Amino acid sequence: MKILAIHNFHRKGSASGDDQVFKSETAMLTEHGHSVVRYSVCNDEFDKAGAVGKIAGIFGMIWSFKNYREVKNIISREKPDIVHVHTFFPLLSPSVLYAAKRSGCKVVATLHDTRFVCPCATSLRGNELCNLCGDGHYLRMCKYGCFKNSKLQSLPVAVNFKYHRLRKTFYKQIDKYICLNENQMSLLRGIGFDPKKMIKKYNFVPDAEANMKPQKVTGLPERYVVFYGRIGEEKGIRVLMKIWEKLPDIPLVVMGGGPLEKEFAKWAEKHKNVFFLGYTQHDKCLSIVKAGEFVVFPSIWYEGCSMVEIEAESLGNPLVATDLGFSVEAVSNGYNGFKVPLGDVNGFVKTIRELWNNEELIREMGRNARKDYEAKYQPEDNYEQLIGIYKSLLRKG
């Protein structure tokens, strides 16, 4: 089978989940003998552009003639069986969906976030959950400065999604939506998406447990809790800081980078039990995670299918996570971790302290986390699901 895989990468060096999924999924398809044609752009292109290029890029969010032509030409030349679109925002634009459909291709889209409900993709206004724009009145984004905290920058995004809402682009130009959790599917049904076109498929990660050994790092305590991932608002970094203000006796190791990195680093310097390692090479990061007791994940947004949570389970680490988004179905209380209500700092403190003091339970839940990974997130099972989705569309003609 020949697949045209399309994706808009975040900036170079980004560890964003959708970038990771695009790379691992296309590699998996290639390993299984399929022909994968990759077409991608990167947001670095926008950063490097001059003033004229940036203006063109902003208008191109609505319709990129360049990417429309490129995708049409690739389809004409390569004749793929399926077009699989991951992220199209901001540079590719929805024009790539039209290019595929007008070329007679079946189009699959993996929905890595809630962008069809919230154009900012996070379903957050500040640090509060918000899905009001599901009603199609996107100009409220300008009122609240939802996109990059800017009323001005929110305007082209609002116009973009209003235009494509009126054209029913996301309803008509996609044949199958791959959703990552039940909450995501519920949100889409609530704004009129066809449930018959939706299918749930979790992400996967390679078996990190197979050859991974715990790594003890000089300067780190014998026992510690781990947070790793993007150091950003939506990941609950400020919630994490509030939690550890109340846990001065439990060591916390934090790895990652992001927009709140400097703020967090300054805070960490004032807390002797917090060890901030910054960006850590992936294999080393995972070995440090595995040596930890459990992973804390106080996210405040709808995680699609968190790669951090799946990786932690593959390593045999329990999770203490927010009862929201993917975590709702990924974590079973008392089995492979615990769930805490959104923003409940005291609830996190109580749960973390009780678990920290019960090493036998940590080990038991770690074994269960590994079992959960083996049952739901392994590459081979994921491959069979993905190929099944492709074949079901092709059978329909």
- Kindly list the domain boundaries of the chain, sorted by start residue: 2-204+379-396, 225-376
CA distance 105 to 102: 7
- Does the pLDDT value for residue 59 go beyond 90? no
Residue 193, amino acid: F
Give the pLDDT confidence score for residue 68 in this predicted structure.
Answer: 98
Q: Are strands 128-129 and 124-125 parallel, antiparallel or unpaired?
A: antiparallel
Residue-wise pLDDT tens digits, 203-242: 999 887 766 778 778 899 999 999 999 999 999 999 999 9
DSSP 214-266: ----TTS-SS-EEEES--SGGGTHHHHHHHHHT-TTS-EEEE--STTHHHHHH
Strand extents, DSSP E, the chain: 2-9, 35-42, 82-85, 106-110, 124-125, 128-129, 176-179, 198-200, 225-228, 252-255, 274-278, 295-297, 319-322, 337-340
Q: Nearest to residue 243, comparing CAs of 93, 346, 140?
A: 346
- Does the pLDDT value for residue 192 go beyond 90? yes
- Does the pLDDT value for residue 54 go beyond 80? no
The answer to whether the Cα torsion of 323, 327, 333, 336 is positive or negative is negative
- Does the pLDDT value for residue 44 go beyond 70? yes
Give the pLDDT confidence score for residue 203 in this predicted structure.
Answer: 96
CA distance 64 to 68: 6
Residue 53 or residue 197, greater confidence: 197
Peptide bond into 251 cis (omega under 30): no
pLDDT band at 53 (very low <50, low <70, confident <90, very high): confident
- Does the pLDDT value for residue 48 go beyond 80? no
Say if CB 158 and CB 119 are below 8 A apart: yes
The answer to whether the Cα torsion of 286, 288, 293, 298 is positive or negative is negative
Alpha-carbon separation of residue 171 from 174, 176, 204, 209, 327 (angstroms): 7, 10, 27, 40, 27
Give the pLDDT confidence score for residue 13 in this predicted structure.
Answer: 59
Give the pLDDT confidence score for residue 170 in this predicted structure.
Answer: 97
Which of 54-63, 115-124, 341-350 has the least mean pLDDT? 54-63
pLDDT band at 57 (very low <50, low <70, confident <90, very high): confident
Say if CB 145 and CB 222 are below 8 A apart: no
CA distance 14 to 278: 13
Say if CB 348 and CB 320 are below 8 A apart: yes
pTM of the full structure: 0.92
Residue-wise pLDDT tens digits, 285-298: 999 999 999 999 99
Could you tell me which CATH number the domain at 2-204+379-396 has? 3.40.50.2000
- Does the pLDDT value for residue 45 go beyond 90? no
**146 Cβ partners below 8 Å, 6+ apart?**
118, 119, 120, 125, 140, 154
Residue-wise pLDDT tens digits, 114-166: 999 999 999 999 889 999 999 999 999 999 999 989 999 999 999 999 999 99
Q: What are phi and psi of 196, to 5 degrees?
A: -70, -20
Residue-wise pLDDT tens digits, 317-333: 999 999 999 999 999 99
Mean pLDDT across the chain, nearest whole number? 94
| Same-fold call for 2-204+379-396 versus 225-376 | yes
Superfamily name with CATH number, domain 225-376 = Glycogen Phosphorylase B; (3.40.50.2000)
**Which burial class, exposed, middle or buried, applies to 5 when counting CB atoms under 10 A from its CB (0-12, 13-18, 19+)?**
buried
pLDDT band at 51 (very low <50, low <70, confident <90, very high): confident
Alpha-carbon separation of residue 86 from 64, 109, 266 (angstroms): 16, 6, 36
Question: For 11-40, what is the mean pLDDT?
Answer: 90
Q: What angle do CA 312, 345, 338 make, to 5 degrees?
A: 35
Give the pLDDT confidence score for residue 15 in this predicted structure.
Answer: 63
- Does the pLDDT value for residue 99 go beyond 70? yes
Name the one residue in this structure whose structure tokens are 């018959």: 196
